[in-house]
């Protein structure tokens, strides 16, 4: 019995001692993990902890932290709406299960600290997480309280794991994609000048790209020390095909621009690269023919004022000759020979012994004649030198007044209809020419084909405007009054969950800040000329200069002259007939 009591006491003491050792070990583990979390917070601040998995050592640290904590034990099947400054603690090697794409996308860049149990190799776990496009991973093992070693994944190194001691000054998490060690970025260009144009480099014989979109991608690859894996599609492939490839993860970046009208999906689009408008590229109204110049220079209001001045001078002339209203009549006012010839700048008989008042009226008449004839002569000479243009249209309802139809691709028409664009719906269908082949429509626009008007964005119009500076006559103008949208965001198509998306967006904004994008756009036309994609030829085909007027240029004047002569003959014959009729009537009486 004595030995039994001694044995039981010894066993009780041993069990209590082992429990005390376990508690001490647990306290040491919690202390070291707490130091690790403090170090991680010093490296990059976080204000939220997401603890995933069953109960483990991380759960006991919650009370010691002054940050918000979210506990997830089963799956990530919820929409993450918390702060982006989140550190994820994973209990065990199991990857986060479930969850919508939005949650995965929002937590992709967040740092993850995983506790490994047993003999699981951290290098194998790095490969597993890498396949899911998760790269900010670090691991600790069960013996972390003794070893103080953190195993951090290094995707572009061999081996892909790096041991970092807790007391070392080296960072645990690094921005790995700042140096991609020559890894490839899969790209697909749309080959639409001046966005992306291919050429053969004379120095090394490689196929390279140039353009205000291609330069952005090329500079980014140089910045992160990556190579571009260029894949050329068929010429008939459209921008929508490149966007589809980005959604299906068949490429990393599309060397093209995707408008916010076409795709509202922000997961496969970069930060907006360009802000532009979408308007009509309309032909410059034709010059008025010379035979209409005579009608333009005569304004109805001015003509009415001249007629009133003529009548006033006629009344003064009739009164001043005899200082009496005796000869005042409608015929003497409207058909006053001296007043009419004086205003037209012609000579007229000057009465002898004219009074001072009559001389003053003649002086006023001559002065008015000089002003009127000089004014209209200046108008006539100016308009003959450079005739004015026909009026511009100001609304979509007036598009029917244009002489030519408006060409548009079927893709653009479908998008404008699907978005219920009210401006586009105002255009009658009979005034539209819809092309199924979008490249055919662009070829007509690039050639400045005068058979149509065209839809164009402001960024593309800049190169057209630069090209037309070489023309003798401007063919098209960008109508700010006929815009379908004044705020369209253009983005670069990216594959879903691109791990270096944030670096690319930052690079894009820096290029804009330094003014490189505007510089590329300003020189895009000359890049096209250098690559032989366009020429410096004058496509306006100006008419040959004719130094003299033709008969058709004065056709209206001749017609008016014929009408005036006919009217004069009619009046003369009427007077003659009236006198003969009076004589015949008198002889009968």
- 325 pLDDT band, cuts 50/70/90, is confident
The pLDDT of 239-256, averaged and rounded, is: 89
**pLDDT for res 542:** 67
Pick from 60-74, 133-147, 375-389, 532-546 the range whose average pLDDT is largest. Answer: 133-147
pLDDT, one tens digit per residue, over 270-324 is 999 999 999 999 998 888 877 777 777 878 888 888 888 888 888 888 878 777 7
- Report the mean per-residue pLDDT for the chain: 83
**pLDDT for res 25:** 44
Distance in angstroms (rounded) separating the CA atoms of residues 462 and 466:
6
**pLDDT for res 211:** 92
Whether pLDDT at 7 is above 70: no
> What is residue 550's three-state secondary structure?
coil
- What domains lie within the chain, and their CATH numbers? 28-174 (3.40.50), 181-272+492-536 (3.40.190.10), 274-285+390-490 (3.40.190), 290-385 (no CATH)
The pLDDT of 519-532, averaged and rounded, is: 91
Q: Between helices 501-513 and 214-223, what is the axis angle to 10°?
A: 120
Pick from 51-55, 125-129, 555-559 the range whose average pLDDT is largest. Answer: 125-129
Whether pLDDT at 82 is above 50: yes
- 16 pLDDT band, cuts 50/70/90, is very low
pLDDT, one tens digit per residue, over 28-62 is 778 888 889 989 999 999 988 988 888 888 888 87
Q: 111 vs 303, 424, 542, 572, CA distance in Å?
A: 83, 48, 66, 106
What's this model's pTM, rounded to 2 decimal places? 0.77
In the numeric block, which tokens belong to residue 561?
């002259």
**pLDDT for res 203:** 82
- Higher pLDDT residue, 94 or 494? 494
Least confident of 91-95, 391-395, 516-520: 91-95
Place of tokens 């249209």: 393
Q: Give the phi and the psi of residue 345 in degrees, each rounded to 5.
A: 80, 20
**pLDDT for res 263:** 58
User: 359-372: b or e for each residue (b if 16 or more CB lie within 10 Å)?
Assistant: eebbeebeebbeeb
**pLDDT for res 254:** 92
């Amino acid at each position: 019995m004595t030995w039994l009591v001694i044995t039981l006491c010894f066993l009780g003491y041993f069990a209590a001692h082992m429990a005390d050792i376990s508690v001490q070990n647990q306290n040491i583990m919690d202390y070291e993990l707490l130091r690790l979390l403090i170090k991680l917070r010093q490296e990059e601040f976080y204000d939220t902890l997401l603890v995933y998995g069953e109960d483990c050592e991380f759960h006991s640290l919650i009370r010691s932290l002054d940050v918000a904590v979210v506990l997830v034990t089963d799956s990530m099947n919820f929409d993450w709406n918390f702060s982006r400054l989140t550190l994820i603690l994973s209990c065990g090697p199991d990857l986060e299960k479930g969850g919508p794409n939005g949650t995965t996308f929002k937590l992709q860049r967040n740092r993850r600290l995983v506790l490994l149990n047993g003999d699981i190799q951290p290098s194998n776990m790095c490969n597993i997480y890498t396949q899911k496009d998760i790269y900010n991973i670090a691991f600790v093992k069960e013996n972390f309280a003794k070893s103080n070693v953190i195993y951090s994944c290094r995707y572009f190194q061999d081996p892909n794991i790096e041991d970092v001691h807790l007391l070392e000054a080296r960072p645990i998490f690094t921005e790995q994609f700042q140096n991609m060690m020559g890894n490839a970025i899969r790209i697909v260009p749309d080959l639409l000048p001046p966005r992306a144009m291919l050429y053969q480099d004379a120095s090394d014989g490689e196929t390279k790209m140039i353009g205000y979109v291609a330069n952005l991608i090329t500079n980014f690859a140089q910045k992160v020390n990556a190579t571009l894996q260029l894949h050329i599609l068929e010429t008939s492939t459209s921008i929508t095909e490149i966007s589809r490839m980005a959604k299906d993860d068949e490429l990393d970046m599309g060397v093209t621009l995707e408008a916010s009208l076409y795709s509202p999906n922000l997961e496969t689009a970069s930060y907006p690269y360009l802000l532009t408008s979408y308007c009509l590229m309309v032909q410059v109204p034709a010059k008025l023919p010379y035979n209409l110049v005579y009608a333009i220079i005569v304004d109805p209001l001015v003509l009415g004022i001249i007629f009133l001045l003529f009548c006033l001078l006629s009344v003064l002339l009739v009164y001043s000759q005899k200082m009496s209203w005796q000869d005042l009549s409608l015929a003497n006012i409207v058909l006053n020979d001296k007043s009419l010839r004086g205003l037209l700048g012609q000579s007229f008989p000057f009465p002898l012994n004219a009074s001072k008042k009559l001389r003053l009226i003649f002086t006023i008449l001559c002065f008015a004649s000089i002003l009127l004839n000089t004014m209209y002569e200046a108008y006539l000479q100016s308009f003959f030198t450079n005739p004015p243009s026909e009026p511009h249209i100001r609304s979509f309802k007036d598009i029917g007044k244009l002489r030519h139809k408006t060409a548009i691709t079927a893709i653009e028409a479908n998008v404008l209809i699907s978005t219920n664009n009210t401006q586009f719906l105002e255009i009658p269908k009979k005034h539209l020419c819809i092309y199924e082949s979008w490249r055919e429509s662009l070829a007509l626009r690039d050639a400045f084909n005068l058979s149509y008007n065209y839809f164009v964005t402001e960024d593309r119009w800049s190169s057209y405007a630069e090209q037309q500076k070489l023309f003798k006559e401007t063919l098209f103008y960008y109508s700010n009054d006929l815009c379908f949208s004044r705020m369209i965001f253009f983005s670069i198509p990216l594959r879903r969950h691109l791990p270096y998306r944030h670096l690319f967006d930052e690079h894009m904004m820096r290029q804009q800040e330094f003014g490189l994008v505007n510089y590329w756009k300003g020189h895009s036309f000359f890049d096209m000329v250098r690559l032989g994609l366009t020429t410096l030829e004058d496509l306006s085909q100006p008419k040959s200069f004719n130094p003299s007027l033709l008969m058709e240029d004065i056709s209206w004047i001749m017609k008016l002259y014929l009408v005036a002569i006919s009217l004069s003959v009619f009046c003369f014959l009427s007077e003659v007939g009236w006198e003969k009729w009076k004589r015949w009537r008198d002889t009968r009486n």
